[in-house]
Structure 1
Amino acid sequence: MKSSRRKIALVLAGATALGTVAACSGGEEPEDAATSAGGKVTLSVVSLLPGSTEEAIKAFEDQVAEFEAANPDIDVEPEEYEWKATTFAAQLAGGTLPDVFEIPFTDAQGLVENGQLADMDAQFRSLAYADKFNPTILEAGTGEDGHVYAIPAKNAYPVALHYNRQLFESAGLDPDQPPTTWDEVREYAKQIADANPGVAGYATMTQNNTGGWQLTAQTASRGGRTVEVDAEQKATATLDNAGTKETLEFLRSLRWDDNSMGGNFLLDWGTINQEFAAGQVGMFTSGSDIYTSLVQTNAVDPKMYGLAPIPLDDSPEAATLAGGTLAGVPANADDAVKDAAVQWIDFFYLSKLVDEDRAVADAKTLAANEQPVGTPVLPMFSEEQYQENQEWIAEYINVPMDQMTAFTDAMFELPLVGEPSQKTQEVYALLDPVVQAVLTDENADIDALLSDANSQAQALLDQG
């Protein structure tokens, strides 16, 4: 099946491509809502990543206090949380997740089918702006019965190129002119590595399914797809496509010919952020929204940060991989918890996107605690709503927008494609060791590695 290059107004359907996660089926009986003294509902919610800065924690605490003041019948209990494909299923099955947790677009359908998410349809429909969502965004968390089980929580993001402006300057590169082709990425990576011994001019994720994620992103940027789905929803593994092979050859060249990828080849989403913020990585690809996490968790120096689109080749099928985040509630939650959950989701994630007073209040709280305001993402409702929101919070925007113009000038024209729509995380997991092999074995047989992974992927897809 051909993948399209539709513009943002149409392509969010691709950004919400649906997948499944290998999770145990939830079979617990409903429990009574947790209550504190005075009969209040106690609601545990995702807060920040472990290791977040004191400023980030203070900003979150201020937001909780504001919410509780407006909702005196709810006590919010924040819990640190980082979604990882390798641990999420066990956390959910073991009942150790908070009442409101976050999941990627790719995983919601599998959880709905397994009965592991609470039916939030009535609560969702109570939101004043429920009918304003792009319908394709809602599809990610909507079951076959038409009910909403997981609510869009954060704007969609495309995979982008993040780069260290200071390392660019140290290598004689213009930080206002980031690379626009993969050939330039290779050239710049070598210059950075040569000028800064021990630094990776370019790095990539390789484990906890993130290696497969980013290999898929680069594959798409070269016009390839790792899974094709026909009109009857039959999925065919295509991990051995030309785009994936080109990407692996590209990584092999940087690693073994140019010696420009440093010495750490076991990185995931969190650790590559750490390396980047510490000045040990010149360039890498990840979701366009990670600047917020880099500040909250890694105390990145804003002056060193740059953002650009992921390079696309000349193929008509070349596209930018996109994803997003949903908020879910465990299937055993009762109505009191679900009602409290939607109030928190409305307050913390959504109303600030459509209500001026809430947008300003949220931005003011974040800015007062030196937290990012204005990190560029794709709109959840419409481009017009996004632009209006940016006008509301203009005086509080504190991210280095002038260092992100390569991305923001192009963000609404990016050709987007969603993540593989079936067995997403399982396929990513099969690709992790392929990326690792290429980076650790100079003689790795790319064709053989991909052929083996493709056979395994097809076996998974055939399971339905």
Structure 2
Amino acid sequence: MAKRHILSVTSVTSVAAATALLLGACSGGSDDGAGDGDEPSGSITVLTNRTDIVDTVLQDYVAEFQQTYPDVDVEFEAITDYEGDMTVRLNSGDYGDVLLVPNTVDADQLSTFFEPLGTVDELGEKYRFIHEKSYDGQVYGLATFGTALGYVLNKPVWEKAGVTEPPTTPQDFVAALEAIKDTSPDATPYYTNYADGWPLTQWQSNQGSIDGPEAVNMRTEQDAPWTEGEEQYAIDSLLFDVVAAGVSEKDPTTTNWEESKNLIGSGQVGSMVLGSWAVTQMQDAAEAAGAAREDIGFWPMPWQTDGAFHSTVSGDYKIAVSKNSENKEAAEAWLYWFLDESGFAASQGGIAPQVDGQTPETLADFETYGVEEVEIAPAPEGEESLLSDIYNAAEIDLNGDQFRREYVDIARGAADGSKESYFADLNARWAEARAEVVG
């Protein structure tokens, strides 16, 4: 197993990737969810975006769960556009018993929609990433697993281009993609997954890989984050430059997330910025294409601090109990069984959510290249929603995909403007919003 290098307390709005398990429920048992002997009972419906395993793996989990909780019935509802659909459902009040917290929910809204699971101090003794969905000392969601940020790559495609080690600068990264374009003209060196949108949010999850644990808190003190030399500029500038160099899809509006797995697995795509959670899915695709699982690797982002690569490590989607649940005991029983007994984290190649868990083999390359893990520090007390207050006021969906789609369109020549003009507009809106929020 690859060892961890840096372990610290975290509170980052992770993007996470839409392939994580999403849980929710519709109560169908008694009001208190308990049967004879105070054992949980009743029915819960589990919301999940894992349409690929809803009828297979998840059903196996139910059978195992019912060996411990025979009086609890579990049903699943698969949701393809989880973020979009759940935003509507939260506002309607119809969002079941257990679910993963949508990224659209800000810290100060957690208590509106979810039951507190315990205090930061209590749960922090057993679980990692607890600050990420906590507010005012209470934890409202626990990570299903942890994920490191970087990019998934098809190693034979990169090796054919003469690149056998991770690039250390953005310029070298773009040059590597250009070399892939030259040596594998039928392959797409970098795949944005623009059409699905949510994969673009994975870029923001790299915050901290340059500035370290205080990166998010630093952002709230900056008037011009999209200025050369700042971490936010580095993240968004690299995506812009990749597209402007012509090494991404010719028409990003036609991309498809599920198909992208097959494309990278078969060597028709060279790389994608994602969390380490994606590695096993791409390896499965490579195997299905007749290639070796080892063809799929995971490398750190192309920048170093003090001569070392750093990767932001955070919790993936956070599992939570609905505030509106009529069967909270059964819902909580499923939540903790899923975290502690199902083996889901290991099956996904994820970092165990428990404090004493091990780092998975999917991060073996990180050990080879001495990548140091960074966990984002929690916001100061009373400022948990400060960052989201600023970007909401600026109408810049920092953890979303819309503004990245806008500058990708500029970079590919489908919209007017330049990197300089667009980033200047972002800075102006950010500064105005920060003045409004901070005073």
Pairwise TM-score range, normalised by the shorter structure: 0.7 to 0.9
Q: Is the 8 A contact 1:45 1:101 kept in 2?
A: yes
1:414 paired residue number: 373
Q: Where in structure 2 are there 5+ consecutive unaligned residues?
A: 16-24, 36-40, 380-384
Structure 2 partner of 1:380: 353
Residue 202 in 1 paired to residue 187 in 2?
no
Q: What is the alpha-carbon root mean square deviation over aligned residues? A: 4.4
Structure 2 CA distance for aligned equivalents of residues 412 and 191 of structure 1: 25
- Per-residue deviation, 1:48: 5.0
Residue in 2 that maps onto 1:265: 252
Counterpart in the other structure of 2:335 = 345
Against the structure 1 CA distance between its residues 206 and 436, is the aligned structure 2 distance closer, same or farther, given a 3 Å change threshold?
farther
Given that 1:214 and 1:285 are in contact with CA atoms closer than 8 Å, whether structure 2 keeps it comes out as yes
Alignment match, 2:172: 184
Q: Find the partner of 1:426 among 385, 389, 397.
A: 397
Identical columns (%): 18
Work out which of the residue numbers 10, 24, 29 in structure 2 matches 1:35.
Answer: 29
Report the counterpart of residue 147 of structure 1 in structure 2.
138
* 3-state DSSP of counterpart to 2:303: coil
2:226 aligned partner: 240
Are residues 460 and 42 of structure 1, via their aligned partners in 2, closer, same or farther at CA, if it must alter by over 3 Å?
A: farther
1:452 aligns with 2:411: no
2:335 corresponds to 1:333: no
Aligned 8 A contact 1:19 1:107 in 2: no
The CA deviation at 1:203 is 2.9
Give the aligned residue type for 1:140.
E
Letter paired with 2:92: G
Deviation at 1:438, TM superposition (A): 1.5
Structure 2 residue identity aligned to 1:133: K
Please point out which of 323, 332, 339 is paired with 2:314.
323
Q: Give the deviation of 1:249 after TM superposition.
A: 5.1
Which position in structure 2 is the counterpart of 1:309? Answer: 300
For residues 325-352 of structure 1, give each alpha carbon's deviation from its aligned partner in whole angstroms, at most 9, with x where no partner exists.
2112222113xx2111111111112x24
Match of residue 12 from structure 2? 17
Q: CA deviation at 1:221?
A: 4.5
Q: Tell me what 2:50 maps to.
A: 49
Q: Given that residues 190 and 260 in structure 1 are in contact (C-alpha distance below 8 angstroms), is that contact kept between their aligned partners in structure 2? A: yes
Q: Distance in 1 between matches of 2:215 and 2:14?
A: 11
Cα pair distance change 1:191/1:96, threshold 3 Å: farther
Q: 1:95-174 counterparts in 2 under 5 A?
A: 95=93, 97-103=95-101, 107=105, 109-112=107-110, 115-121=112-118, 130=123, 132-133=125-126, 137-144=129-136, 146-150=137-141, 152-174=142-164
Q: In the alignment, what sits opposite 2:20?
A: none
State the SS of the aligned residue for 1:92. helix
Deviation at residue 59 of structure 1 after TM alignment:
2.4
Any idea what SS the aligned residue of 1:77 has?
strand
1:77 shift after superposition: 0.5
2:413 to 430, 440, 464: 440
Instruction: Tell me by how many angstroms 1:97 deviates.
Output: 3.6
What does the per-residue CA deviation read over 1:161-181, in whole Å, with 9 as the maximum and x for residues that have no partner?
Answer: 21012323444544xx34344
Change in Cα spacing, 1:189 to 1:409, as seen in structure 2 (3 Å) is: same
Counterpart residue identity of residue 344, structure 1: W
- CA gap of 1:48–1:206, structure 2 versus 1, over 3 A, is closer
Instruction: State the Cα deviation string for residues 362-421 of structure 1 (Å, max 9, x = none).
Output: 55xx8xxxx9737153x5343xx224xx7xxxxxxxx9x4x7521244677224447996
Contact in 2 for aligned 1:109/1:142 (Cα 8 Å): yes
- Matched residues in 2 for 1:346 and 1:432: separation? 37
The answer to whether the Cα contact below 8 Å between 1:322 and 1:419 also exists between their aligned partners in 2 is: no
Contact preservation (8 Å) 1:224, 1:318: no
For 1:419 and 1:47, how far apart are their aligned partners in 2?
Answer: 28
Q: C-alpha deviations, 1:35-71, integer Å up to 9, x for none? A: 29x9841111134522x16xx7422211111111221
Q: CA shift at 1:72, angstroms?
A: 1.3
Letter of the structure 1 residue corresponding to residue 252 of structure 2: F
What residue identity is the alignment partner of 2:298? L
Contact 1:161 1:283 in 2 (8 A): yes
Equivalent position SS for 2:76: strand
How far off its partner does 1:83 sit?
6.3
Contact persistence 1:227–1:236 (CA under 8 A) = no
The CA distance in 1 between the partners of 2:236 and 2:371, in whole Å, is 29
TM-score when normalising by structure 1: 0.69
C-alpha change, 1:445 and 1:318, in structure 2 (3 Å) is: farther
> What is the identity, as a one-letter code, of the residue corresponding to 2:419?
I
* Contact 1:376 1:408 (C-alpha < 8 Å) held by counterparts: no
CA distance in 1, matches of 2:118, 2:212: 37
Pair 1:46–1:304, CA change in 2 (3 A): farther
Deviation (angstroms), 1:199: 2.0
Give aligned pairs, total. 396
Mapped to 1, the partners of 2:333 and 2:207 lie a distance apart of: 40
1:162–1:284 Cα contact (<8 Å) kept: yes
Residue in structure 2 matched with residue 358 of structure 1 by the alignment: none
Separation in 1, partners of 2:77, 2:301 = 33
CA deviation profile, 1:63-90 (whole Å, cap 9, x unmatched)? 1111112211100002223565444311
Q: Classify 1:333/1:217 alpha carbon distance in 2 versus 1 (closer, same or farther; 3 Å).
A: closer
Cα distance between partner residues in 2 of 1:271 and 1:200:
13
Query: In structure 2, how many angstroms separate the alpha carbons of the residues matched to 1:372 and 1:19?
Result: 19
Letter in 1 for 2:247: S
In structure 1, C-alpha distance between the alignment counterparts of 2:116 and 2:102, rounded to whole Å:
18
Compared with structure 1, are the counterparts of its residues 165 and 206 closer, same or farther at alpha carbon in structure 2 (3 Å cutoff)?
A: same
CA distance in 2, matches of 1:241, 1:318: 22
User: Deviation of residue 92 (structure 1)?
Assistant: 1.8
Q: Is the 8 A contact 1:165 1:306 kept in 2?
A: yes
CA distance 1:443–1:215, shift in 2 (3 Å): farther
Q: 1:214 to 1:112 in 2, by over 3 A?
A: closer
Q: Is the 8 A contact 1:251 1:439 kept in 2?
A: no
Contact 1:79 1:98 survives alignment (8 Å): no
Is the 2:150–2:298 Cα contact (8 Å) retained in structure 1?
A: yes
Which blocks of at least 5 consecutive residues in structure 1 are unaligned?
A: 1-5, 21-30, 353-361, 391-398
State the shift of 1:220 in Å. 5.2
Cα displacement string for residues 417-446 of structure 1 (whole angstroms, at most 9, x for unaligned residues): 479962268224434312332233597321
- Are positions 1:73 and 2:68 aligned together? no
